[in-house]
Amino acid sequence: MPGMGNMMKQVQKMMEDTQRIEQELRETRVEASSGGGMVKAVANGMGEFLEITIDPQVVDPEDVEMLQDLVVSAVREALENAAEMKTSKMQTLTGGLNIPGLF
C-alpha cells in the first residue's frame, strides 16, 4: 500500500499538532468577571478552573446569596470562554471538521 506511509505521517503530524495545541491551551489563561469586576474567575484553555478573586467590598454577611450568584456567574463565563477557545483552536487543526472524541 503505497499511500499508507503518507497517511501514517499525516496521522503522526496531527497527533503532534494536537499535543502542541493542548499545551498552549493549558498555558492560556481566560478571565471572566461579574458584579462589575468585583468577582473574577480564571480558567485555562483546557477548561480547568484556576482561581477566583473576590473584592472585599462585595462580601456582605447579610447577602451571601448575591456573592454566591456572582461567583457562579464568573466561573461559568470563564469556563464557557475556555470551551469556546478550545473548540476554535482544535477546529483549526481539523480544518473545521468535528471529529468525535478528539476534543
- 49-to-7, 69, 79, 90, 101 alpha-carbon distances in Å: 37, 17, 7, 20, 22
Quote the pLDDT of residue 101: 59
Output the pLDDT for position 93: 78
Q: Rounded distance, CA 27 to CA 96, Å?
A: 23
Question: With b meaning 16 or more CB within 10 Å and e meaning fewer, what string describes 43-79?
Answer: bbbbbeeeeeebeeebeeeeeeeebeebbebbbebbb
Q: Spell out the domains of the chain, with CATH numbers in brackets.
A: 4-94 (3.30.1310.10)
Whole-angstrom Cα distance, residue 65 to residue 35? 13
- Residue 100: predicted pLDDT: 60
Predicted confidence at residue 11, as pLDDT, reads 84
Question: pLDDT at position 79, please?
Answer: 97
- Predicted local distance difference test score (pLDDT) of residue 5: 80
Per-residue pLDDT of the chain (103 residues; tens, 9 = 90+): 567 788 888 888 888 999 999 999 999 999 999 999 999 999 999 999 999 999 999 999 999 999 999 999 999 999 999 999 999 988 887 776 665 655 5
Joined together, the cell numbers standing for residue 65 give: 446569596
